[in-house]
A and B are shown apart, each in its own frame.
Chain A
Amino acid sequence: MQNLDCGQVIALLTFYIDSKLTPKLMKDIEYHLNTCSFCRNKYMQLKKIYDNYADIKAKIENRDDEFLYCESNYNNLQYQYFKENLSAYIDNELNIKDNLRIKKTAIINPNARIELENIIFFRKTLQDAYNKTKENLKQDFSGNVICKIYDCLPKYRKSNKLSLQNKIKIIINKIFKINKNFEYNK
């Protein structure tokens, strides 16, 4: 058996921990560590560091990077506060302090920014839908409503020239009446 001195053993320690030495050398070092307390202490320290490192490495590898990243962005108080107040923020109903807080979150947190963009786009879509709905009303009720309140055809309407649409309506109505009378007489 070859006798190693402390300097040699310490130089080889990292390889020993990784088990990257020949079986003979491994045995020699093991023998030395059993007999030399100084080297054994060194070995224990180094082994501890290696174990911790391996632990952290395994944890990181086991988790999806993206998952870790999102988790931290979703699971904090700041983000929760942002979620609760986003609606009031876009309505401009927050005080200056809260307003700034939301703005800050949107700048720092990419998920928050996406939420903000989504809700603004969502609002725009609603608005477009509403404008479209408005155009669904083809009739004009205003004249009728006034006639109902102020009894039919008040003075102001007489001076008004009839619109083309109304003229056509009246003509059509007359034709229908004539037709009905005609059928009735038959």
Chain B
Amino acid sequence: MSSQNTPYKTMTQLELVTLAQNDDLKALEELLRTEQKNIFATFSYLSNKREDVFDLTQEAMLKIAKNLKKLKEPKNFKSWINKIVTNLFYDELRKCSKRPDTLSIDDENDTCGAHSIINSIPDTKCKPNEKCISLEMEEIIRAEISNLPGQFKIAIVLREFQGLSYEEIAEITKSSIGTVKSRISRARSKLQDGLRNYI
């Protein structure tokens, strides 16, 4: 199917998907490599528990690799992987509701967390539009999003970070376009309120 020197790195996603569906393992590996950061970041915003994110990411990648051949339209790849990610997250939510809440020993001390009083005081010196966003800011935003109610955060993550259309999100979350529209709108205003002191 492919020669030794096939330039996988320069291929488009569509080409990689098509090759991978035809048993080209190197193409599959390259595809997973390019997608893993995206999947990891998505779970980082969905899951409240940081230690779960790595497991979820690997699980999602396994599912993608196993089921890639079942994907009929390679151009729907993005929407398809988001469906896998969302379903895994739903499973995780279900599991979480059953098992008692645990606390990770890796968690940083809560007094310095994103929701402490110190962090609710506006920082007048902070000018976020200057240059790049700080690491601390990224953590605060991540905490704000992952603390949203489940359906809201799925909708906002799929829209803002995955760039899916309302129709695609409605299909993935099995809801109507109107519901998606209002969820995204409400999630945005909640986040804007929550981040008012920082942005």
Contact = CB atoms under 8 A, between A and B. Distances in A.
B83 interface: no
Contacts of B135: 132
Contacts of B141: 125-126, 129
Interface string A101-130: 000000000000000001101110111111
A34 B193 CA distance: 67
* Chain A interface main SS type: helix
Interface in B49-75: 54, 57-58, 61-62, 65-66
A72 B38 CA distance: 45
Interface stretch (A6-14, A21-29, A46-54, A141-149): A141-149
Contacts, number: 109
B61 A141 contact: yes
Interface of B: 4, 25-26, 28-30, 32-33, 36-38, 40-41, 44-45, 54, 57-58, 61-62, 65-66, 128-129, 132-133, 135, 137-138, 141-142, 159-161, 165-166, 181, 184-185, 188-189, 191-192, 195, 199
Nearest to A155: B25
Contacts of A145: 32, 58, 61-62, 65
A133 B160 contact: no
A139 B62 CA distance: 15
A105 to B, nearest CB: 16
A: contact size bracket? 35 or more
Contacts of A71: none
Interface of A: 84, 86-88, 91, 93, 118-119, 121-123, 125-130, 132-137, 139-146, 148-150, 154, 156, 159
